[in-house]
Amino acid sequence: MPSEFVQELEGMIHERRKTTSPLYQTILEGKATNRLLQTFVIQRWPVKSWWTRNVIGVATRVDDIPIRRALIENAYEEETGALSHSKRHVTTFEDFGRSVGVAPESLPHATLFPETIALVEHNKNACCNTSVHFTEGTASVLLLMEGQPPITDTKGSSMMAVMRDAYKLPEWGYEFFKHHASSDAGSEGVSDLEEEHTAPLRDLLDLYCNTPELQERARQSLATAIELRHSHFDAILREAYDPSEPVFVYQGEGA
């Protein structure tokens, strides 16, 4: 049973979960255009490409061996896909991009929105700056990203199912969502894998975020991250969505 403090953090996350964002609502309703999905890939990729470095930035400062091992295993799975018999997870996200017409080699050089840069820089600072206590990054980056409730449409279908059924993506195009958005409305976590990755984060916060000062800093860092994250989502929708454009439906590789 998570501590009262961890439950408070998870309550903050649940209150502003991804499905409260108009961006995710549009995608989950099957209304996304090609331009919106391409921009989603381009602007979300930097956040995802920094994930393992942010995990390791926290892990290197954790003395507890089982927790540190769990974080390292998280990073290992993300970088290799070996534990789930998949591929590097960012590669599967790039495959999703390829299915909507984004060339993977273009992603490191793409122009980023100011909101995207602000979110990436917050995450890097919270997790990798040794002047910032690692519990801030754990709360505002790792728990926020791993501890999401299921990402579902109004009927309770997972984001993976929407990608498969509404946008007609092939399996290689929606594989990323098997790991990161495959749970339906009856589940606790966004996917089995992410629920597994969330458990040691709760343990870490219970063990190390153990003073009122540390807890307040973690709480404020999470609140900041939530606002930056939703500003990032809003920018993607604002800059790339026109409902008069046709809804995207996969037409073949390299769409």
Residue scoring higher pLDDT (93 or 188): 93
Could you tell me which residues come within 8 angstroms of residue 63 by beta carbon, excluding any fewer than 6 positions away? none
Work out how many domains the chain is built from and give that number: 1
pLDDT exceeds 90 at position 186: no
Which CATH number belongs to the domain containing residue 100 in this structure? 1.20.910.10
Q: Exposed, middle or buried: residue 248 (CB in 10 Å: 0-12, 13-18, 19+)?
A: buried
Which region among 28-37, 80-89, 95-104, 216-225 has the lowest average model confidence (pLDDT)? 80-89
Tell me which residue of 54, 210, 80, 77 sits closest to 140, measured CA to CA.
54
Looking at the domain assignment, is residue 247 inside a domain? no
Average per-residue pLDDT for the chain: 93
In a domain, 28, yes or no: yes
- Amino acid, res. 74: N
Answer yes or no: is pLDDT of 195 > 80.
no
Q: What percent of the chain has pLDDT over 70?
A: 93
**pLDDT value of residue 148:** 84
Range of the domain at 20: 4-240
Residue 118 lies inside a defined structural domain of this protein: yes
Within-domain flag for 58? yes
Closest C-alpha among 59, 131, 129, 47 to residue 89: 47
CA 158 centroid distance within chain: 15
Whether residue 75 is contained in a domain is answered as yes
End-to-end Cα spacing for the chain = 46
pLDDT in tens, 49-62: 999 999 999 999 99
Q: Is residue 245 part of a domain?
A: no
Evaluate whether residue 250 is within a structural domain: no
CA 25, chain centre distance (Å): 16
Please give the pLDDT value at position 19.
93
Residue-wise pLDDT for 25-38, tens only, equals: 999 999 999 999 99
Alpha carbon distances (Å) from 167 to 28, 118, 127: 10, 30, 35
For residue 200, tell me if it sits in a domain.
yes
